[in-house]
Amino acid sequence: MVTLFDETKSPTKSSGITVTENASKKVSELLKAEGKENHGLRLSVTAGGCSGYNYGLFFDEKANPDDKVYESNGINIFIDTQSDSLLSGTEIDFVDSLEGSGFKINNPNATGTCGCGKSFTA
Distance, CA of 64 to CA of 80 (rounded, Å): 8
Residue 78 neighbours by CB distance under 10 Å: 27
Residue 56 lies in a domain: yes
Mean pLDDT of the chain: 82
Distance, CA of 43 to CA of 84 (rounded, Å): 9
Residue 7 lies in a domain: no
SS3 98: coil
Residue 3 lies in a domain: no
CA-to-CA dists, residue 117 to 36, 51, 87, 92, angstroms: 27, 10, 15, 12
pTM for the whole thing?
0.78
Confidence class for position 10, pLDDT limits 50, 70, 90: very low
- Give 10 or 77, the one with higher predicted confidence: 77
pLDDT tens string 30-68: 999 999 999 999 999 988 766 678 889 999 999 999 999
SS3 118: coil
Residue 31 lies in a domain: yes
pLDDT tens string 73-85: 999 999 999 999 8
Residue 5 lies in a domain: no
Residue 36: per-residue pLDDT: 94
List the one residue out of 91, 9, 109 whose CA is nearest residue 43.
Answer: 91
Confidence class for position 89, pLDDT limits 50, 70, 90: very high
Residue 4 lies in a domain: no
Distance, CA of 48 to CA of 6 (rounded, Å): 29
Residue 118: per-residue pLDDT: 54
Q: What total of structural domains would you count in the chain? A: 1
| Integer Rg of the chain from CA | 14
Residue 52 maps to which CATH number? 2.60.300.12
Residue 2 lies in a domain: no
Residue 20 lies in a domain: yes
Distance, CA of 105 to CA of 122 (rounded, Å): 14
92 residue type, one letter: I
Residue 62, domain extent: 12-121
25 residue type, one letter: K
